[in-house]
C-alpha cells in the first residue's frame, strides 16, 4: 500500500521506529530526521500563471499543471505520515480575477474531486474544505460535502483545502460565533481564551501550523491562516508551484528539522 501511496516517490519501504520510511533515489530522502518532521504543513501554492507564461501557455494551463503537483505533494505528505496538510486553493480576493479564469477554477475543483476522491479515500485521507464554502457554486458545494462525508472516519492525513478563504474573514466569523455564544448566555466574556477562539475557527481540531511553504518567490502570508501560523516556521522558494516536486517538499522538511523553535523562550544554551 505504501508503494502505491508514494507512487513514483518511493521505491521500497523499510522499518524505522514508528514510521514507514520510503527509500528514494534522491539522497535528500536519506537526510530526513523522522523525529523532527512538522506535524501540520501549510502551502501557498503560488506561480501557476507565471509558470504558464514562461511555457508560452495561457494561465489556465498553469492551474491544470498545478493540480498534478498537488496530488504528488499530498502523496508525499501521506508517505511522511504528516498529521495535516492545508493548501490555499482559492482566496476571497481571487474573485477579482477575470470571470473566465474563475469559472475555469471552479470547474477544475469539480473535476479534481470527481477524479481523486476515491483514491484519497483509499489512502485514508480525511478531507476538509475551509472558508466561505457557501459562496461557491451549489453543485461544487455538494461535491465537497459528499467528499467530507465519505472520508469523515478516515484516520490518515487531514487534508484541508482553503476555498473562498481569507484569514481576516475567518477571524471575523470566529468573533461573530463567540459573540453569539456570549449573547445566548453559554459563555461569559471572561471565559474567552485561545481555545474558545480556536474552536470557532475553520481549522478546529487541527494542530497549529508548524511549517508554512510559499512557492514562486513572494514572501508574505497573503491573508492565509493568520491565527494558526502565529509560531509557524516559513520556507520560501522561487520555484513556481507546477515545478514544485516531492524533492522540494523534502528540502523544506529537512530545513525545518534544523531550526530551533523557541516559541518566545530561550534555548538551553541561552539559559546558561
- Confirm if 73 and 31 have CB atoms less than 8 A apart: no
The cell numbers describing 264, all together, are 518566545
DSSP code of residue 209 = P
Q: Confirm whether 46 is a catalytic residue.
A: yes
Catalytic residue among 18, 25, 33, 46: 46
* Cα(176)–Cα(179) distance, integer angstroms: 5
Q: How many CB atoms lie within 10 A of CB 34?
A: 14
Identify the burial level of 155 via C-beta atoms within 10 angstroms of its C-beta, where 0-12 means exposed, 13-18 middle and 19 or more buried.
exposed
Name the E strands within 143-271.
158-165, 211-214, 233-236
Catalytic residue among 72, 83, 94, 223: 94
* Cα(36)–Cα(150) distance, integer angstroms: 31
Q: Residue 132 — φ and ψ, nearest 5°? A: -85, 75
Find where cell 484516520 sits. Answer: 155
Q: Residue 92 — φ and ψ, nearest 5°? A: -65, -20
Active-site positions read 46, 94
Amino acid at each position: 500500500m505504501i508503494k502505491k501511496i508514494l507512487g513514483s516517490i518511493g521505491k521500497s519501504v523499510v522499518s524505522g521506529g514508528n514510521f514507514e520510511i520510503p527509500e528514494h533515489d534522491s539522497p535528500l530522502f536519506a537526510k530526513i530526521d523522522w523525529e523532527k518532521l512538522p506535524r501540520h504543513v501549510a502551502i501557498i501554492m503560488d506561480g501557476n500563471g507565471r509558470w504558464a507564461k514562461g511555457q508560452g501557455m495561457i494561465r489556465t494551463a498553469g492551474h491544470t499543471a498545478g493540480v498534478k503537483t498537488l496530488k504528488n505533494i499530498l502523496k508525499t505528505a501521506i508517505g511522511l505520515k504528516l498529521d495535516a496538510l492545508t493548501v490555499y486553493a482559492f482566496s476571497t480576493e481571487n474573485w477579482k480575477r477575470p470571470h473566465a479564469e474563475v469559472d475555469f477554477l471552479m470547474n477544475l475543483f469539480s473535476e479534481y474531486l470527481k477524479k481523486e476522491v476515491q483514491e484519497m479515500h483509499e489512502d485514508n485521507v480525511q478531507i476538509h474544505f475551509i472558508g466561505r464554502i457557501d459562496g461557491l457554486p451549489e453543485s461544487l458545494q455538494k461535491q465537497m460535502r459528499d467528499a467530507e462525508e465519505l472520508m469523515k472516519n478516515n484516520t490518515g492525513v487531514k487534508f484541508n483545502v482553503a476555498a473562498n478563504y481569507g484569514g481576516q474573514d475567518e477571524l471575523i466569523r470566529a468573533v461573530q460565533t463567540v459573540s453569539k455564544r456570549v449573547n445566548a448566555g453559554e459563555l461569559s466574556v471572561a471565559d474567552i481564551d485561545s481555545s474558545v477562539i480556536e474552536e470557532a475557527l475553520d481549522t478546529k481540531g487541527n494542530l497549529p501550523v508548524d511549517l508554512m511553504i510559499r512557492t514562486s518567490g513572494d514572501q508574505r502570508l497573503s491573508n492565509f491562516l493568520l491565527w494558526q501560523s502565529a509560531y509557524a516556521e516559513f520556507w520560501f522558494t522561487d520555484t513556481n508551484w507546477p515545478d514544485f516536486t516531492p524533492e522540494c517538499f523534502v528540502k523544506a522538511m529537512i530545513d525545518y528539522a534544523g531550526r530551533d523553535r523557541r516559541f518566545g523562550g530561550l534555548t538551553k544554551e541561552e539559559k546558561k
